[in-house]
Structure 1
Amino acid sequence: MLDYSTLKIIWWLLVGVLLVGFAIMDGHDMGVGTLLPFVGKSDLERRVVINTVGPHWEGNQVWFITGGGAIFAAWPLVYATAFSGFYWAMLVVLWALFFRPVGFDYRSKIHNATWRSTWDWGLFIGGAVPPLIFGVAFGNLLQGVPFQFDNYLVSTYTGSFWQLLNPFALLAGVVSSAMITMHGGTYLAHRTEGVIQARAIKGAIGAAIIMVLAFVAAGVWLQSIDGYRISSVIDPAALPDPLSKTVVREAGAWMANYGRQPLIWLLPALGVAGALLAAGLLLARHTLSAFVASSLALVGVIGTAGASMFPFIMPSSSMPAASLTVWDSVSSHLSLGIMFWATLIFMPLIVLYTSWAYRVMRGKVTAAFIKEHEHAAY
């Protein structure tokens, strides 16, 4: 079995892979939902838009469920602390997600304009709200979350829902929302044609520009935010104990990893270059290549957040020593080892069946297809 310290790093990487997979796969579904009321001007056009993601959105939820499960299993202290501290924010996400299954399944069951319009806006909420909240959550992680532990490692959150909506966190929310909208628009451009494709391209390019500007602004702002640094000696192989270290807050601490490992600069560069390249490829109507470039942009943005914070996962602003890190918030050596081998078996299966499903359902979704399958299509 791999040693404990190596498994801790591996699971930090695997959770990152799952978050990226969620952003790429479920993200384009949400991005399409966000654009739905704006790129589809008639009921027929909106049905075209919905059916580009209709066959896949449920399967893509696997990434969301697996990501949450991995955090629960690999980082139990992070799961418990985050889901209690961000309780109302997580409920907002769940309430928004409720619109997706009922919206997809019931939207076209009744031939009534008000009924269908209501569910269209429900799908918009289910697509637009979660990325915004997730971005706000990451913005708060970078500033530190007000929680502390007692001697029994029972966490106490001292903040409120409204404190989460601070200026930097809202800017991070703009980055996330624009990123997912860009990704959804790029996918929609690949699966549609004509006027719907033209509107999708316009929306994706606009979102890409907003994402790049907000991402660069957040990076500049981050340099003046007090980051976190472990000031005591850490034993990577030690049993998890988040109260065994000392942590200091200092301006520019989140940039320290870039000084130690200059190659990390490739991640923010990938975020910016991927978005701009996707926009350029969309203008040239190279939609599949644009989707790949958009996916790389997501890797760059999410990777930038993870690399900046490493080894911190959930820093504490009210009790810095209680900050949760890669080294002291994990499950046991045995648990990480078993989950690692299980992941090596099942992750390729998920990728294979997802690839097969997209290959089978490839091609353009057209108005003629919707008319031909009036009672079978979403």
Structure 2
Amino acid sequence: MFENLSHVTLQQYWWIIDSLLGSILVFLMFVQGGQTLIYRIGKSPMERNMVVNALGRKWEFTFTTLVTFGGAMFASFPLFYSTSFGGAYWVWMAILFCFIIQAVAYEFRSKPNNVWGAKTFEAFLFINGLLGTILIGTAVGTFFNGAEFTVNDFNQSRWATPYGGLEAVLNIHNLALGLTVFFLARVLGSLYFMNCIDDEQIYVRSKKQLLISGIPFLVFFLFFVIRLLLMDGFAIDPKTSIVSMESFKYLHNLIAMPLVLILFLAGVVGVLFGLGKSYLLEKYTKGIWFSGAGTILVVFSLFLLAGFNNTPFYPSLADLQSSLSIQNASSSHYTLSAMSYVSLMVPFVIAYIVWAWRAINRDNITVEEMDAGDHLY
């Protein structure tokens, strides 16, 4: 079946798969956002235990999705993987370090004879929540603003600066996306606490955080989107494959792909609806589902804007013609078609995640559960 599809169709198919994984990852980073709120939401040791254990039920979903996203990108677009992970290594090493200390924190925070104390591991969780979100958002920003690399005729890449990708943080547009992801994760984390922790004070403080984190989220998000639609973008001539700059490129992409526009607008409405309804109504706890689904749609749309309509998804600032697209960075037709059969398992994996989520969250976190202490993070 898949082997009969054209190479271009398979490349587009796998960009959609990778985009979906990336968008689910951003939603699941509510765990990271919640970790930055441990001391904002939990004012006593018991309340902090409730917050950490609520997040501890879900942190492995985020970690697994990050690994799956990276693996899918490696298999489907190996030239991007080797260029970015091999060149911008300081950024990716920092992200990896953030997730390593997160795993250590959840494993050892409540262990007997913990000589470092719970606060040390709570600091690890805060670092993961702060740097993990900002750095991943900044890295995705390079899909639109470009990165400093070159690729020769033998597909050998070289980073053009000695800073290993850290220079991306100096781009205000990249940083705006990083801060957007950070504050969005805090909003989603607050909504998650409202949904799964049965405690009046935690609910009230989480609701307050919706406004505190929601306002900067909207400011940075609007700045990123407005600048994205108005700036010059990278375009590929479909006949010559020459890369050049095009005015309002991403606005043109949005207009040329009305389905993507609809998904983007629906996602924005979903995020705002979940946030607004949760803040305005008393005892409303379902906002995480509207804002979470909206997050997935918005991020999915941004990935499609970056890769479709003759657009290089990883532009090169050092040499425009080294820019990577889904055409020149992908695996072979054989590899993509073989992988596509494996992708048929994705619906079953999603079904398992839904089942596991519901099973884990069957009962809300309570003080009584923490006192029982059967399994604490």
> 1:242: which partner in 2?
none
Distance 1:339 1:203 in 2: 43
Q: 1:287 to 1:79 in 2, by over 3 A?
A: farther
Distance 2:68 2:282 in 1: 34
Give 5+ residue unaligned stretches, structure 1: 235-244
- Tell me how large the CA RMSD over aligned residues is: 2.1
> 1:15: which partner in 2?
18
Match of 1:164 among 164, 168, 177: 168
Match of 1:29 among 14, 20, 31: 31
**Equivalent position SS for 2:365:** coil
8 Å contact from structure 1 (residues 270, 296) kept in 2? no
Q: Where does 1:254-273 land on structure 2 (aligned, <5 Å)?
A: 254-273=250-269
Judge which range, 42-51 or 208-217, deviates more: 208-217
8 Å contact from structure 1 (residues 229, 253) kept in 2? yes
Distance 2:93 2:115 in 1: 30
Q: Deviations over 1:25-62 (max 9, x none)?
A: 3x122122121121111111111011112233224422
Q: What is the aligned length?
A: 365
Match of 1:306 among 303, 317, 321: 303
> 1:241: which partner in 2?
none
Distance 2:251 2:336 in 1: 29
8 Å contact from structure 2 (residues 63, 99) kept in 1? no
8 Å contact from structure 2 (residues 15, 307) kept in 1? no
Look up the equivalent residue of 1:370 and give its one-letter code: M
Judge which range, 258-267 or 154-163, deviates more: 258-267
8 Å contact from structure 2 (residues 26, 181) kept in 1? no
- Structure 2 residue 367 is matched with structure 1 residue 337: no
Q: By how many angstroms is 1:197 displaced?
A: 1.6
8 Å contact from structure 1 (residues 281, 289) kept in 2? no
Q: Where does 1:344-359 land on structure 2 (aligned, <5 Å)?
A: 344-345=344-345, 347-359=346-358
Distance 1:23 1:287 in 2: 23
Percent identity of paired positions between Structure 1 and Structure 2: 26
Look up the equivalent residue of 1:306 and give its one-letter code: F
Q: 1:223 to 1:24 in 2, by over 3 A?
A: closer
- Structure 2 residue 220 is matched with structure 1 residue 214: yes
Judge which range, 158-167 or 210-219, deviates more: 158-167
Match of 2:178 among 173, 179, 192: 173
Q: Deviations over 1:297-336 (max 9, x none)?
A: 3123313422332332211112112211112211111111
**Equivalent position SS for 1:135:** helix
Q: 1:107 to 1:214 in 2, by over 3 A?
A: same
- Structure 2 residue 322 is matched with structure 1 residue 316: no
Give 5+ residue unaligned stretches, structure 2: none
Q: 1:59 to 1:178 in 2, by over 3 A?
A: closer
8 Å contact from structure 1 (residues 212, 275) kept in 2? no
8 Å contact from structure 2 (residues 275, 287) kept in 1? yes
Q: Deviations over 1:215-250 (max 9, x none)?
A: 11112222443211112417xxxxxxxxxx211113
Match of 1:46 among 45, 48, 52: 48
**Equivalent position SS for 1:316:** coil
Match of 1:148 among 147, 150, 155: 150
Distance 2:154 2:232 in 1: 28
Distance 1:230 1:285 in 2: 51
8 Å contact from structure 2 (residues 87, 149) kept in 1? yes
Q: 1:264 to 1:33 in 2, by over 3 A?
A: same
Look up the equivalent residue of 1:170 and give its one-letter code: L
Match of 1:5 among 8, 32, 57: 8
TM-score (norm 1): 0.90
**Equivalent position SS for 2:286:** helix
Q: By how many angstroms is 1:103 displaced?
A: 0.8
Q: 1:266 to 1:206 in 2, by over 3 A?
A: farther
Distance 2:304 2:211 in 1: 27
**Equivalent position SS for 2:246:** strand
> 1:137: which partner in 2?
139
8 Å contact from structure 1 (residues 146, 158) kept in 2? yes
- Structure 2 residue 365 is matched with structure 1 residue 365: yes
8 Å contact from structure 2 (residues 267, 297) kept in 1? yes
Distance 1:133 1:60 in 2: 15
- Structure 2 residue 372 is matched with structure 1 residue 376: no
Distance 1:135 1:286 in 2: 32
8 Å contact from structure 1 (residues 228, 247) kept in 2? yes
